[in-house]
Structure 1
């Protein structure tokens, strides 16, 4: 009888078969899984490809080094290294397709100019020489892994299926079965039911173990592809730092534009109006003192508003309480302005670097603003502590949840700011809540 699933549609026989197969233990599924066969195909292809790469690398290096006494050796070496980079690209594609290795392409050559410039870039590139190392080292490993995989895979399946084909020996080979021992006086064959069954059971064990052996062998291939054919950690770090520097510059420019806009539209506009009002009051002072007094009184009120706007703006740039008293007092003052009751707990043995302290403050500030505007929460909490040289922040609210840092929201920009200083932002916000945002920053005290 078909089993209902999902929206009431019956499972087909193929779907039932796949569901049943997935319920088997991993050890029993492994010999039939697609991953095992893809890894085995990778091992099989590695042997001819590694031999070709090894022979080409050794030949080009030998010929190029031998010809270095003349200028001809330099372009030979450069062309050989460039060809090995192409061979490395093929290996990365093969590793992605068969091993599931997501390895990025190495940093491209920075060669702007003619053929001489290109040759120099190829010869000086560490990526090129890492491809040479891969071509030389991979061949002996490919031979070893090919031999082990083929022997275990072949013998495992052969012994497992021995009951199906042992009849070939008495019918066509003139012997009772597989001969496992023989001399001039005595021979031992696998021919009785017990021995045939034992052979099949041994084959089953070998067959079940072989996928894990292949997986262990291809793990070494994964390491070699990552370490020798992928981008170097130093170059990746430089690219990451360049990207982070761009984020920092953009953020600083955006903050400057915001400050300029707030000054122009707020305090500056009020001060201009105040100057005009005081000028009118000065003109009326002689002929209408009472009107002048009223205008001065109104100007006094405008001064108070302008001062408050300037204080708010200064607090947005860097609050004085943070400089004077640290995160505990600054976050307590910040939580007092939130529309949701906030519990603040700061447990720090000392103060971190001023820049990190400022980033932590503005991170909590933006998160509390999000809680006030979007969460619908009844309560929230802020916890700050230090662990293993890192400053940890955690902001919790019991609101409606559904916050998504990958949707291009303010959380995404906040994550980029933290990333620019080697920080991390983790958002856990299931629909229906609660929302927990955890930030990690370097201490740099």
Structure 2
């Protein structure tokens, strides 16, 4: 029976041919690629115009006081444009490109700010992306728009090929700087941090010597000089005995201060016995009951041991001074090529990197050796500090296999 309500049904039946199968709908990914390609042109035109006008004005006025600041401001805008384009490519093309590192001037002031932005390679690549994109955007818009009407069977392949070119452009021009460039910038920043830290340590040692052991030794020398004069005058009585006894006490105090200073520079127990006994000694001196657990197959390089020791030392001092905790724990272990440290206390929490407790300094010191510092301290506690350091075997030896208890830092 013929369905006369369908146009052309009778002709189909008379010809004896069945109707063609319905076309399969385009996939969601294909529609996203089409949307991306069609949006390239309307978005690319204003971006191209802004870049051309900005460059023309900035370079033309570079001999004046406003030219270079205009270029620097435009480069900041280019960074934001790149951020938007990365988000669009991530949403529609599935291209995931890491965000570039934020710019940080090594010194404060207008001219360091200006120079840092003018030599920003990321922003210049974003400007290049906006400049070269317009011809390509016009081509893709024309091809895809035409294919929607006259080239429907080939549209998925056309969209995929054209969008692959866009994916390559996004990865090439909107990605962060290459690894060497990134590492150079990081090392420049880290060099400043290490220099400042070393200078601060030297000032601390000089101050401790001047105000502590040196002052006591001066007083000791004066006391012994007076006692010597009285002995030469034949006044060997109880006064001289008291002076000698006082000088003896000063000697013992000076020796103790020198030992503490030497321990602050590099403790002998760390050199002789390693992190386990050294951290146990630190925990024993903490005013809050603290336990230690050190699980290392072998010792890392002395420099890494020293940084780990002083990191735990400062964290336990913070626990003693600020946490109002009842107990604390220190765990150290190796995970692949990293040395991990975790210090936990059940105190009142609320610690911050900018809270004036030395946390920011610890984070900078660990960052200078490619380490990490993570602080988790909600108000009410507990406080959990996790530090990671690169595992460097002594004398360039290969690192030992990770401990049997290898694990990542535990969450709260």
TM-score, normalised by the number of residues in structure 1? 0.59
Residue of structure 2 in register with 1:271 after alignment? 217
Match of 1:434 in 2: 382
Is 1:246 equivalent to 2:192 in the alignment? yes
The answer to whether the 8 A contact 1:376-1:399 is kept is yes
Is residue 223 of structure 1 aligned with residue 171 of structure 2? Answer: yes
Of residues 220, 233, 236, the one that matches 1:289 is 236
What is the rounded CA distance, in whole Å, between the counterparts of 1:433 and 1:258 in structure 2? 32
Deviations 1:387-445 (A, max 9, x none): 11110000000000011114454100110000000000000000000010000000111
Give matches, 1:368-383, under 5 Å: 368-383=316-331
Shift of 1:232: 4.0
Q: How does 1:151-300 map to 2 (within 5 A)?
A: 222-227=170-175, 231-285=177-231, 286-290=233-237, 291-300=239-248
1:303 alignment counterpart: 251
The aligned counterpart of 2:81 is: 94
Match of residue 333 from structure 1: 281
Q: 1:300 to 1:128 in 2, by over 3 A?
A: closer
- CA-CA distance at 1:142 after TM superposition: 3.4
Q: Who is 2:406 aligned against?
A: none
In the alignment, is residue 414 of structure 1 matched against residue 401 of structure 2? no
2:208 aligns to what SS in structure 1?
helix
Matched residues in 2 for 1:107 and 1:314: separation?
36
Distance 1:399 1:131, change over 3 A: closer
Partner of 2:44, secondary structure, is helix
Partner of 1:78: none
Residues 7-86 of structure 1 correspond to what in structure 2 (within 5 A)?
41=39, 44-46=42-44
**Cα separation, 1, equivalents of 2:36 and 2:130:** 22
Query: Is this contact kept in 2: 1:425–1:437, CA < 8 A?
Result: yes
Secondary structure of the 2:174 match is helix
Indicate conservation of the 8 Å contact 1:390/1:441, yes or no. Answer: yes
Instruction: Indicate if the aligned counterparts of 2:341 and 2:388 stay in contact, CA closer than 8 A.
Output: yes
Alignment check: 8 A CA contact 2:125 2:173 kept: no
State whether residues 42 and 94 of structure 1, in contact with CA within 8 Å, keep that contact through their aligned partners in structure 2.
no
Change in Cα spacing, 1:329 to 1:150, as seen in structure 2 (3 Å) is farther
| 8 Å contact from structure 1 (residues 42, 99) kept in 2 | no
The offset of 1:97, in angstroms, is 4.9
Unaligned runs of 5+ in 2: 1-27, 52-71, 89-98, 106-118, 157-161, 394-412
Match status 1:345 vs 2:293: yes
Higher helix share: 1
Q: What is the CA distance between 1:293 and its match in structure 2?
A: 1.9
1:235, distance to aligned residue in structure 2 (A):
2.4
* 1:120-157 deviation per Cα after TM superposition (whole angstroms, max 9, x unaligned): xx9xx9989978985897567635764687689x99xx
Query: In the superposition, relative to structure 1, how do residues 395 and 86 fare at CA in structure 2: closer, same or farther (>3 Å)?
Result: closer
Classify 1:425/1:149 alpha carbon distance in 2 versus 1 (closer, same or farther; 3 Å).
farther
Higher gyration radius (CA)? 1
Instruction: Check whether the contact 2:41–2:138 (CA below 8 A) recurs between aligned residues.
Output: no
**1:354 matched to 2:302:** yes
In the other structure, the counterpart of 1:11 is: none
Give the 3-state SS of the residue equivalent to 2:218 in structure 1.
helix
CA contact (8 A) 1:399 1:433 kept: yes
Distance 2:378 2:37 in 1: 37
Q: Aligned equivalents of 1:325 and 1:145: distance in 2?
A: 68
Corresponding residue SS for 2:329:
strand
Structure 1 residue matching 2:330: 3-state secondary structure: strand
Q: Distance in 2 between matches of 1:368 and 1:128?
A: 43
Equivalent pairs counted in the alignment come to 311
1:433 match: secondary structure? coil
Deviates further, 217-226 or 126-135: 126-135
TM (normalized to structure 2)? 0.63
Distance change >3 Å, CA 89–CA 44, structure 1 → 2: farther
CA displacement 1:14-68 (0-9 Å, x = unmatched): xxxxxxxxxxxxxx9xx9xxxxx99975553237867999xxxxxxxxxxxxxxx
Residues 349-408 of structure 1: per-residue CA shift (max 9 Å, x gap): 100000000000000000000000000000100000001111000000000001111445
